[in-house]
Chain A
């Protein structure tokens, strides 16, 4: 089945630790996105990538890093510089173009120990 997979579903981070959230898609989509969602709030764009080996900062990129070495993978690292990382993280992908819809993963809940 085609789709977008995020792992793990739940993740715990110790203070000062970097953690990496996985996002994989087998939809052959060029564009991939990472969003952060705090309780009761909307989605905020962290990073997005339109093509392999290229990515752009969103509105809240500080304390996060990404890579796009393969078309199907777009991992997000939450670094120790992100002082308030507890949130629900969503990955999405799409074909590029305004007439194309986004497909979302089921999300990763990150909490701080």
Chain B
């Protein structure tokens, strides 16, 4: 069973902010929240991850709800190159629990 729930698709205008939501109501205390994105015909690439606090890097920001049951990936100014499928997944910190299961993700369309 998928541990995360995301909308199937979203649209954004170029140079506007994008907020991609993810629900993970059954998250455990040892789960990190990871985001990856996949461009057509390529392997996914890492975007950002976090545990409890909000995180920023050069690609995006990750806002994590206080109860950790949801999170939001924020692209501050969408470009055409940000059009991709975005996956939100949970990764358990415990050594013996390393299965990494992806859901269907959110397909982001960026309009010029």
Contacts and interface: CB of A to CB of B under 8 A. Distances in A.
Given A45-B99, A56-B99, A99 B32 contact: yes
Q: Classify the interface of chain B: helix, strand, loop or mixed.
A: loop
Interface residues of B, number: 29
Contact of A98 (B30, B41, B44, B102): B30
Contact of A41 (B92, B93, B98, B104): B104
A43 B44 contact: yes
A13 to B, nearest CB: 20
Contacts of B100: 33, 45, 48, 92, 94, 102
Interface in B50-98: 51, 85, 87, 91-96, 98
A9 B104 CA distance: 23
Interface string A81-97: 00000001010101011
A8 B104 CA distance: 26
Counting chain A residues whose Cβ lies within 8 A of the other chain, the interface size class is: 20 to 34
Interface centre among A33, A50, A101 (most CB of B within 10 A): A101
Interface of B: 30-32, 34, 36, 41-46, 49, 51, 85, 87, 91-96, 98-105
Interface of A: 31, 33, 35, 41-45, 48, 50, 56, 58-59, 88, 90, 92, 94, 96-107
30 contacts: A31-B98, A33-B100, A35-B102, A42-B104, A42-B105, A43-B44, A43-B102, A50-B98, A56-B99, A58-B99, A59-B101, A88-B41, A90-B44, A92-B44, A96-B95, A97-B93, A97-B95, A98-B30, A98-B51, A98-B91, A99-B49, A99-B51, A101-B34, A101-B46, A102-B34, A102-B44, A104-B45, A105-B43, A106-B42, A107-B42
